[in-house]
């Protein structure tokens, strides 16, 4: 009798718990329907980048060395003043079509910090191909974001880089989906020293627009240096910097798939040969 009472009590408690959960769920859903959460300023102004199609995309993608060299030129003349490539060695530039002599010349244009453990003295010397790109420091501010892995560190990769570079806007005239958001958020202001960019996570970025006019970089191969073209080229270069062995990985992947297909075919043939005379 006592065990039956305890069992019924357990059923009652379980049923009451389920009922309370259902009541809470219904109350939450009805509350969201009647009073939907208000969109924040960041959510309202933020824009996701549109896809950027590069020749390196897809399982059969390959790098375009001419584009990578143009992208490196943009990085060297515009970005390198603030951003380093500490995981890229100068000699790696041979992989995108530069000769050994050109790499030596490029490396020598940079000053690489040195340290003498005997005297404790710090100095600089011209770079050599074995050196990595030196880290850029600002006194009292540390080092700006390194760009070696930026294409992998940011969602969207190359598309995000291209959108960020070309996405600076005036918030007063900025529209999204055909409507001006300043009417909805009239108190929105860009803090002094920052710049409005709807592709940046919190909208306001300290970096001023890096590319401001056509021809800011004069391409040596004759390509028209529009802002859009320069931003695409540097985005492609940073994809290579983040994954320089991408082509080798693609080749290995294709070879592995071909091997597996051949192996499956041989295994199926062996199966049919062994079991063909055996009746079930």
Tokens of 39: 């969109």
Say which CATH superfamily domain 43-62+145-247 falls into: Cytochrome c-like domain (1.10.760.10)
Distance CA 82, CA 227 (A): 19
Annotated binding site: 79, 82-83, 207
Alpha-carbon distances, residue 173 vs 165, 170, 206 (angstroms): 19, 6, 20
Annotated binding site for heme c: 79, 82-83, 207
Quick one: three-class SS letters along 167-226? CCCCCCCCEECCEEHHHHCCCCCCCCCCEECCCCCCCEECCCCCCCCCCCCCCCCCCCCC
What lies within 8 Å, CB to CB, of 41 at 6+ separation is 185, 188, 203
Coil, helix or strand for 41?
Answer: helix
pLDDT 10s per residue in the chain (280 long)?
A: 556 666 666 767 777 777 777 777 776 656 545 554 555 666 777 888 999 999 999 888 899 999 999 999 999 999 998 999 999 999 999 999 999 999 999 999 999 988 888 887 888 899 999 999 998 887 666 678 999 999 999 999 999 999 999 999 988 888 877 777 777 777 888 899 999 999 998 889 999 999 999 999 999 999 999 999 999 999 999 999 999 998 888 889 889 999 999 999 998 888 888 776 665 5
Quick one: which H or E segment has residue 122? Answer: strand 122-126
């Amino acid at each position: 009798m006592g065990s039956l009472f305890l069992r019924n009590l357990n059923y009652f408690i379980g049923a009451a718990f389920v009922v309370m959960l259902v009541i809470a769920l219904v109350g939450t859903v009805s509350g969201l329907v009647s009073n939907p959460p208000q969109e924040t300023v960041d959510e309202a102004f933020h824009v996701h980048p549109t896809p950027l199609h590069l020749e390196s995309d897809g399982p059969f993608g390959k790098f375009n060395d001419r584009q990578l060299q143009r992208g490196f030129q943009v990085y060297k003349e515009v970005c390198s003043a603030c951003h380093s490539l500490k995981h890229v060695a100068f000699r790696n530039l041979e992989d995108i079509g530069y000769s050994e002599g050109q790499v030596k010349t490029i490396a020598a244009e940079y000053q690489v910090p040195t340290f003498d453990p005997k005297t404790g003295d710090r100095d600089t010397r011209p770079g050599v191909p074995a050196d990595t790109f030196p880290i850029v420091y600002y006194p009292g501010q540390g080092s700006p974001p390194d760009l070696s892995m930026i294409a992998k560190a940011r969602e969207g990769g190359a598309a995000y880089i291209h959108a960020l570079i070309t996405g600076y806007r005036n918030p007063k005239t900025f529209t999204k989906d055909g409507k001006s958001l300043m009417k909805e958020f009239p108190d929105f202001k860009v803090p002094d020293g920052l710049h409005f960019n709807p592709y940046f996570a919190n909208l306001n970025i300290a970096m001023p627009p890096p590319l401001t006019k056509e021809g800011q970089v004069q391409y040596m191969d004759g390509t028209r240096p529009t802002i859009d073209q320069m931003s695409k080229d540097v985005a492609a270069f940073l994809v290579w910097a983040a994954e320089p062995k991408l082509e080798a990985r693609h080749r290995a992947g294709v070879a592995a798939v071909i091997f597996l297909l051949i192996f499956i075919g041989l295994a199926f043939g062996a199966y049919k040969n062994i079991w063909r005379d055996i009746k079930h």
